[in-house]
Each structure stands twice: as structure tokens, then as C-alpha cells.
Chains A and B, each alone.
Chain A
């Protein structure tokens, strides 16, 4: 039966011994939405998605796709679902065309439909010229594009993506994002749930955000509402010397700074406030006690919001 919420997590719990990976997660994904599932490492994103795709079982609670309980009826629940979970490996002795035929047979598609869809999808993921070469010779990026292509087989109503650009080089990431954008724009009846660490990727692709930490939901709303719910921004401070914890402590003590973390050569500050508070930060930062090469406001406000929420949930 069609549901307004094609994906539902109901009181989902997953324990590994004493460690609780998912702690009573309740989340309903709206129809025709492209929802970004955000959270730090160990937040329970991948575990939740693996339960959703029947790779692991839950300790308690339910996961439903189109109202069908996945662990109870995996075949029925996953019929109209495309998946890219982590970086899957392929049957390296097969070509993409043979892989599509194998999966098409699993879906119960006709020979003609498999052939037609294979050509269309390979074109979509820009792999047509590689259709008859064995997957064993493909790069990670090429395999990931094939993986995304497979998720489009059998005209899915729901697509589940678990960090689809993870491990790809910048060019590979960019290509994958372009393909995902095209998929989003060309399929208006599609519901996509995508976990990711890339804030700009989520901002770019998603219209809804669900943030989780410690296996529980922190926020679930439209991207606009999440960003607009608090006037905050991410400031990137680049010290002359390598960033260290002493610098972080000094910056964290400045007015309106809610969070400070080292991110490579920069220190990311979550600034609570708008232009006035940003100007005040520039005044204070000149006398912070160590030399600074640059201070810039990051365009991606989602990251600041994300860091704030994660900090609050600790």
C-alpha cells in the first residue's frame, strides 16, 4: 500500500554488546524528498541504513519501506528500492552489461526491459563505452558510478545512498554529484535518503536534513528551516603556526563562539550571531595571542549548524 512516508524508522535500536549504535531512532522520510542523513562517525547512520537494506538485523524496533517491514518481508520491501551502500565491490569477472542483466533477473525484469534500461542507465552514468569490459579493470570511481547506475534499475521509487562519494577523488566526487543532481531533477516521484559527511554535498543536493548522533535523531526538517532556525555561521581561522589545542582554547573563549575544532591547518569556529558578531570577532581575534594568516566566513552554514547540534548532543 502506498505510504506518505516511503521510509520509516520506528523505535529502532541496535546494540553490539555494551555499545548502542542506534538508540531508539524515530524518523519518517517524506515522499519525493531528497533527504540528507548527517551525523559524525559512529552516530549510527550506516548501521541504520544497513538495517534498512536488510544487511544487518535490528535489536528491536522496525524499519519500513513503503509500509512493508524490511526484516519480515525483505523481498517485497526492497522491490522498488535502489541502493548504494558504502563502496560495494562487484563481481569482477562480469562486465557492467552482464552485471545489469544479473540484477535485472533478480528484479524479475524482462530481457527486453533489462537491455533497454541498461543502455539508458549506462549513458546516464557515463559508462556506455565501458559496458562490455570486465569490472575487474575499473577504477573505484568507475565502479561507484556503476553502483549508482545499478541503484536506478527497475525504476525505483526509493533510493538509499550510504556515503556515495566516499573514497573518491575530487573529480570522482564531482562527477557523482552531477549524476545525482540529474537523477534528482529527472525523477520527480523519487524519494532519496543519502548519508554523507560532505556538508556542501548535502546543501547542494538535499531539500531535507536529518541529523543524528549517538543513534538518536537531533533534527529533521527542510534545509531552509534547519539553516534558518538559528543565526549562526562557520568561521575558518588559519594560524601561521600549526593549529594546536592551546589556540583552540583561546579562540573558544572569544565572544559568541559556541564551538572550536581543528580541521587540518585551520580552526573551525561556530559563531552564534550575524554580521555584528562577525565584526566583533575580527576585533577580538587580532589580540588573541598568536599570529593568524587568514579568517574567513565559510559559505556553508550547514556545517556550523551541524557542529552546534553535535556539540549540544554530547
Chain B
């Protein structure tokens, strides 16, 4: 908490613009909310479970040829498998943390304090967006460390694609956080917002991809497909520039929508 405050204070001191200081103040409060709430434990438990399942199944279950993976020989494959599921963890992050960001201020009546202060509503949106991004960034860092471990133990080779792929995941966080913010600016209750966010980020893309796939459409621009863009880059494939451009479009459109909806929202 103290370290966080000092960091925020230091970052704030780099600018004289009060809007930016307010963004950091909102971000700090939002991160404190995450850290002191129960959701952070749920989130960490989910991450732990997914990692354990992924690594455990890779090491303990034989493949069709009756061969088991080993850390020393197959570390690279295990790392790729882990990172392939990272987008799901990030969607869970957006559902748990971002989905309640705006609507909780109304639901819990804290808007009566915050919105009556000299602060513009877009500033609040950006502060909350950055807080969610920070949690996503920490998640990616955690996955990066684990992936580096397996790669280092496995073949001792850590290539640039790994870091490039993580960069793509960072932009993916922005896109899905934007969607979650948009839902949060619209929904009345945090629980509704969480369900809608999960639907928008996971279920709807699956349905659309299935329907459009039958019709022969390429659905690369949907968030479901874009979730795999980071893993594609790590594997040395994909079209990162095209995918990043699509993610940025998602980010801009959803953030603009969040701000418009939040500005119109009445207490």
C-alpha cells in the first residue's frame, strides 16, 4: 500500500496537469480495492489452478504414442501451452475486476462522494482503465516468468518472439478492458455487468465465429480470434500488425462508448 502510494506520488509529480494526477488517484484507489477485496484471491486461485492443470496434464498424461513430456526436453512446448491459455485468464481478469469498475460506484452509492468532487467523468474512466490494465500487466508478467523458466529449463533458448507475443497480449488487455468498461458504464449492477462481460468476451465471439465460419467469413477481427494473436506470435506466426490494429480499434471504440455512457449516466 505504502509502496503503491509512493509510486503514484512519484508518477504524479512528473506532470503538473491535475487531470493526470486525478487519473492516478483514481487508479490507486481502484488497485487498493482489488488488493483488499476477495476477488484477488479468487483470481489467484484460478491462475494457480489453470497453471497446475496445464503443467500437470502435460507432464503426467501420455500422448497417443504412449510418451510423456518432460520438463528438460519439452519445456518449450509446456511454455507454449501455458501461454496459449493466457487470453482466458485475461478475460477472467476483465470479468472479475473491470466489469464492476463504473457500475459499482452507482450500486454502492460511492458516486455520491466521487462525482460531486471536481473531477471529470472521463478522468474516472481512464483511472479505472489503468488499474485494470495494471492487474493484466502483472498477470502477463507472472506468465512470462513461468514461461521463461520452462523455456530456460527445456532448451535454454529464450527468443524474441516470446516478448513480442507478450507485447501483443498487453494490447489485447486494453481491448478487452475497453469492452468491460463499456459494459460497466451501461449495466446497473456489478453482477449483471460481470455476466455480460463474460458473454461479450467469451461466449458471443464463439457463437459469431461458428456462424460466420460456416458462411466462409474470416473472423480474425473478433475478440475471440484476437485472443490467440499473442500465442501465434510466440509460435512465430500470425499477422501481428493486422491484429494489433484491430485490437486498437476495439479499444478506441469501446473506451469512447464508455465515456459517452458514463457522462450521460444519472444518479
Bitwise interface map of A from 124 to 143 toward B, beta carbon under 8 Å scored 1, else 0:
00000000000000000000
B21: chain A residues within 8 A (beta carbon): 105, 108
In the bound complex, what is the Cα–Cα distance between A85 and B25 (angstroms)? 22
Cβ-neighbour of B267 out of A55, A77, A81, A106 (below 8 A): A55
Whether B266 pairs with A89 at a CB distance below 8 angstroms is no
Whether A107 pairs with B117 at a CB distance below 8 angstroms is yes
Whether B25 pairs with A102 at a CB distance below 8 angstroms is yes
A150: chain B residues within 8 A (beta carbon): 113
**In the complex, what's the smallest C-beta–C-beta distance from A221 to chain B, in angstroms?**
28
Most B CB contacts (10 A, CB to CB) among A83, A89, A111 go to A89
Whether A93 pairs with B116 at a CB distance below 8 angstroms is no
**In the complex, what's the smallest C-beta–C-beta distance from A229 to chain B, in angstroms?**
34
Q: Nearest 5 A-B pairs (CB), nearest first?
A: A105-B25, A88-B112, A55-B267, A89-B109, A93-B36
B28: chain A residues within 8 A (beta carbon): 102, 105
In the bound complex, what is the Cα–Cα distance between A53 and B115 (angstroms)? 8
A residues 92-110 with Cβ under 8 Å of B? 93-94, 98, 101-103, 105-108
In the bound complex, what is the Cα–Cα distance between A57 and B110 (angstroms)? 18
Cβ-neighbour of B118 out of A74, A98, A101, A111 (below 8 A): A74
In the bound complex, what is the Cα–Cα distance between A83 and B116 (angstroms)? 7
The chain A residue sitting closest to B107, CB to CB, is A89
Whether A50 pairs with B267 at a CB distance below 8 angstroms is yes
A residues 60-99 with Cβ under 8 Å of B? 74-79, 81, 83, 85-91, 93-94, 98
Cβ-neighbour of A89 out of B24, B112, B115, B118 (below 8 A): B112
In the bound complex, what is the Cα–Cα distance between A54 and B115 (angstroms)? 7
Whether A56 contacts B266 in the complex (CB less than 8 A), given A89-B112, A91-B33, A105-B21, comes out as yes
Whether B116 pairs with A91 at a CB distance below 8 angstroms is no
- Given contact pairs A83-B117, A91-B110, A108-B21, enumerate 10 new A-B contacts (beta carbons under 8 Å): A50-B267, A53-B115, A78-B117, A81-B118, A88-B112, A93-B36, A103-B117, A105-B28, A106-B117, A107-B118
A55: chain B residues within 8 A (beta carbon): 111-112, 115-116, 266-267
Check if B120 is an interface residue, CB within 8 A of chain A.
yes
Write 12 A-B pairs (CB below 8 A) sorted by A numbering.
Answer: A50-B267, A53-B115, A54-B115, A55-B112, A81-B116, A88-B109, A88-B110, A89-B112, A90-B113, A105-B21, A106-B25, A108-B18
Whether A106 pairs with B110 at a CB distance below 8 angstroms is no
Check if B219 is an interface residue, CB within 8 A of chain A.
no
**In the complex, what's the smallest C-beta–C-beta distance from B259 to chain A, in angstroms?**
14
Check if B32 is an interface residue, CB within 8 A of chain A.
yes
Bitwise interface map of B from 34 to 49 toward A, beta carbon under 8 Å scored 1, else 0:
0011000000000000
Check if B119 is an interface residue, CB within 8 A of chain A.
yes
Whether B32 pairs with A94 at a CB distance below 8 angstroms is yes
B115: chain A residues within 8 A (beta carbon): 53-55
The chain B residue sitting closest to A151, CB to CB, is B116
Bitwise interface map of B from 88 to 131 toward A, beta carbon under 8 Å scored 1, else 0:
00000000000000000000111111111111100000000000
A111: chain B residues within 8 A (beta carbon): 9
The chain A residue sitting closest to B5, CB to CB, is A101
Check if A147 is an interface residue, CB within 8 A of chain B.
yes
**In the complex, what's the smallest C-beta–C-beta distance from B111 to chain A, in angstroms?**
7
A residues 19-54 with Cβ under 8 Å of B? 50, 53-54
Cβ-neighbour of B113 out of A57, A101, A103, A108 (below 8 A): A103
Whether B266 pairs with A93 at a CB distance below 8 angstroms is no
In the bound complex, what is the Cα–Cα distance between A54 and B111 (angstroms)? 11
Whether B266 pairs with A54 at a CB distance below 8 angstroms is no
Check if B191 is an interface residue, CB within 8 A of chain A.
no
Cβ-neighbour of A76 out of B5, B36, B118 (below 8 A): B118
Whether A75 contacts B267 in the complex (CB less than 8 A), given A85-B112, A102-B25, comes out as no
**In the complex, what's the smallest C-beta–C-beta distance from A85 to chain B, in angstroms?**
5
A79: chain B residues within 8 A (beta carbon): 118
Whether A88 pairs with B113 at a CB distance below 8 angstroms is yes
A101: chain B residues within 8 A (beta carbon): 5
In the bound complex, what is the Cα–Cα distance between A94 and B31 (angstroms)? 12
In the bound complex, what is the Cα–Cα distance between A55 and B265 (angstroms)? 8
A107: chain B residues within 8 A (beta carbon): 117-118
B116: chain A residues within 8 A (beta carbon): 53-55, 78, 81, 83, 85
B residues 1-43 with Cβ under 8 Å of A? 5, 9, 12, 18, 21-22, 24-26, 28-29, 32-33, 36-37
Whether B37 pairs with A147 at a CB distance below 8 angstroms is no
**In the complex, what's the smallest C-beta–C-beta distance from B131 to chain A, in angstroms?**
13
The chain A residue sitting closest to B264, CB to CB, is A57
In the bound complex, what is the Cα–Cα distance between A226 and B193 (angstroms)? 50
Cβ-neighbour of B29 out of A81, A88, A102 (below 8 A): A102
B118: chain A residues within 8 A (beta carbon): 74-79, 81, 106-107
